[in-house]
């Protein structure tokens, strides 16, 4: 009997370890913008993100701007014209520039990108996607090694949007030649899911904390990245 108990405990420990190492994907009905805002708020509440901006005014600015864009576009929110409006808003009106520091947390979130007027490829892409989600424009993220960019695809027209270069459009081959190794250049550059993007965000957050020697915070977000990744 005692031996059976020991075996049962050992099996339970192994199962627990496997669940810990390979957690299941969390099921959530939150939109991408809601997930980003929750993550941003959590970092600020935990005093891990040194950003002087207040969340509510920036979120309100995003909402009001997207409402104005929706009203001005009318039934064209899914059209290429909507993409041009987003590009104009982000790069010309808000004057968002490129943040080359991949470890800077303020460059990763739409709220702090607006506040600091600069963002990484991921941060500016997430800003595009947040706004597109709010107005109903068919934009998608595309993740490749070392880079994230945006793609407009309404099922008829397709257009890439480069976040680091004020939204100019590069063909897929540009990204294949610049970022992919020879053996992977024939692979399609598929649209990323919201879960893919959140996983990359959590991974980048973890890298930022690892660089700062904040091991506990780094491990926390590496785990989040693994749990989120499909």
Domain layout of the chain by residue ranges = 29-228
CA dist., res. 208 & res. 73, Å (int): 38
pLDDT in tens, 177-198: 999 987 777 788 999 999 999 9
Q: Which residue has the higher pLDDT, 15 or 159?
A: 159
pLDDT given for residue 50 in this prediction: 66
pLDDT for the residue numbered 51: 61
* pLDDT at 4 (0 to 100): 42
Per-residue model confidence (pLDDT) at position 22: 44
- The 3-state DSSP class for residue 167 equals coil
Q: Which of these ranges, 34-48, 132-146, 212-226, has the smallest mean pLDDT?
A: 34-48
DSSP string, 93-123: IS--EE---TT-GGGTSHHHHHHHTEE-HHH
Radius of gyration of the chain (CA): 20
Provide the token pair at 156. Answer: 């008829």
User: What gap in Å lies between CA 76 and CA 208, rounded to an integer?
Assistant: 39
Treating both helix axes as pointing N-terminal to C-terminal, what angle do 194-211 and 32-45 enclose, rounded to 10 degrees?
Answer: 20
Mean local confidence (pLDDT), 158-162 = 97
Mean of pLDDT values over 30-47: 85
| Inter-residue contact 197 to 140 (CB < 8 Å) | no
Residue 11 confidence (pLDDT) above 90: no
Mean pLDDT of 142-158: 95
What average pLDDT does range 36-53 have in this prediction? 77
């Amino acid at each position: 009997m005692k031996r059976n108990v020991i075996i049962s405990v050992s099996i339970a420990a192994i199962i627990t370890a496997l669940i810990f190492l390979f957690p299941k994907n969390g099921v959530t009905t939150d939109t991408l913008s809601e997930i980003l805002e929750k993550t941003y708020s959590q970092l600020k509440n935990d005093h891990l993100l040194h950003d002087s901006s207040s969340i509510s005014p920036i979120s309100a600015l995003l909402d009001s701007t997207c409402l104005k864009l929706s009203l001005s576009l009318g039934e064209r929110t899914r059209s290429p014209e909507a993409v041009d409006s987003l590009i104009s808003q982000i790069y010309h009106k808000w004057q968002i520039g490129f943040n080359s520091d991949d470890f800077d947390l303020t460059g990763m979130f739409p709220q702090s990108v607006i506040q600091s007027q600069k963002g990484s490829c991921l941060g500016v892409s997430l800003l595009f996607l947040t706004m597109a989600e709010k107005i109903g424009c068919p934009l998608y993220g595309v993740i490749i090694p070392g880079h994230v960019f945006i793609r407009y695809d309404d099922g008829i027209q397709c257009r890439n949007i480069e976040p680091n270069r004020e939204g100019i459009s590069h063909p897929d081959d540009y990204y294949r030649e610049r970022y992919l190794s020879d053996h992977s250049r024939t692979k399609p550059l598929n649209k990323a899911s919201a879960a893919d993007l959140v996983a990359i965000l959590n991974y980048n957050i973890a890298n930022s904390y690892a660089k700062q020697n904040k091991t506990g915070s780094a491990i926390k977000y590496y785990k989040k990245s693994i749990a989120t990744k499909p």
